[in-house]
Structure 1
């Protein structure tokens, strides 16, 4: 299972890692917690360079987050809130979440952006309020790169370091993969159900 999944990631090369991480930040098909350790595992097998894996992961995350930040900044706070009021609940990005993130950004600025990159659930979500409050671009991109580098670098290095032990988890990797997929489907279904009830 691990060999097959890491081979799938490695088959796309560094460009594949980059594109998967872009997609993870646009509309998550697979979280970075899966992508980067598998890419690190492939690097340990000599299929890709570890440094290249980390840089591709960081670059992909930056591009994905830049999309939401620049969109929110260009679109403006008032119009973006109208969009979130109407459609945000379908992807779990409600106006309340954005308001809390905006408040955190005003209080903590760069630290909030950096730490958010290492927190599941708001990793990408923080980019929208950062754009809405017009956080300066150098601040946003520098601290996004720092937080993303720590997160993706840590995940890739963990996959690389555990290369010799990955055989120990093959027996339970299948069930965990099924649980993960069920969780994704369940989360999407829950958001749609909530949205329909609210509508």
Structure 2
């Protein structure tokens, strides 16, 4: 059966592509993706970093993508989705323990879970919760793991809020600022997004280096 022309001409939405998601759902899509990526284990594959940055860029009106977003509603949707998603993930982990993760057959998800547990053990609860925001997959699984491991609700809420604001607002404003200052920056969107993702890993890399230096210093004194 041949689909009607007005239906067959509509492009399919690619959930792995930030521009496709924004073109289809706009600001609402940002909030939903933030919630799913940080609150539901099935959302670990979603492009959170690139979505926030690209959405911020599209608020400037300089990108020739046929999409124009408003900055304040975008920031509100990003923050609301990121914070409520993390809190939901924590509560699910607190109630279901590790059962949700155990049911998954995704090697990538289980690898993220191991990294999340390492963060909690190495840096303590506060730093781990903030740093996890900047690591894909880890920011998905750390929230339910924090609940399952018994991280106090108040501690988790305070630090996931701090990390969530820094991540969601920071990346969105980075895209907005770059689009406002550099003409035709959308021509270099892919390499710029790759750079943003690398920069977002700087806090984690810094903490790893500090930890290794502290361990070596301790061994030298011992």
Gaps of 5+ in 1: 178-199
Partner of 1:122: 138
Gaps of 5+ in 2: 1-17, 63-67, 195-222
What is the CA-CA distance between 1:156 and the residue it aligns to? 0.7
- Per-residue CA deviation, residues 81-130 of structure 1 (Å, 9 max, x unaligned), is x65455354442256445424424xx622222122212334112211221
Larger radius of gyration: 2
What is the CA-CA distance between 1:28 and the residue it aligns to? 3.6
Structure having the higher helix fraction is 1
TM-score by length of 1: 0.67
SS of structure 2 residue aligned to 1:126? helix
Distance 1:48 1:74, change over 3 A: same
Distance 1:171 1:31, change over 3 A: closer
SS of structure 1 residue aligned to 2:156? helix
In the TM superposition, 1:147-186 aligns within 5 A as: 147-164=163-180, 165=182, 167-170=184-187, 173=190
TM-score by length of 2: 0.61
Equivalent pair of 1:14/1:52 in contact (CA under 8 Å)? yes
Partner of 1:12: 25
Equivalent pair of 2:116/2:132 in contact (CA under 8 Å)? no
CA distance in 2, matches of 1:14, 1:171: 23
Partner of 2:83: 62
SS of structure 1 residue aligned to 2:136? coil
Partner of 1:93: 110
- Per-residue CA deviation, residues 20-41 of structure 1 (Å, 9 max, x unaligned), is 2223333144322211111112
What is the CA-CA distance between 1:136 and the residue it aligns to? 2.1
CA distance in 2, matches of 1:49, 1:141: 28
SS of structure 1 residue aligned to 2:59? helix
Equivalent pair of 1:21/1:60 in contact (CA under 8 Å)? yes
Aligned length in residues: 167
1:103 has 2:116 as partner: no
- Per-residue CA deviation, residues 31-58 of structure 1 (Å, 9 max, x unaligned), is 2221111111222229333232222112
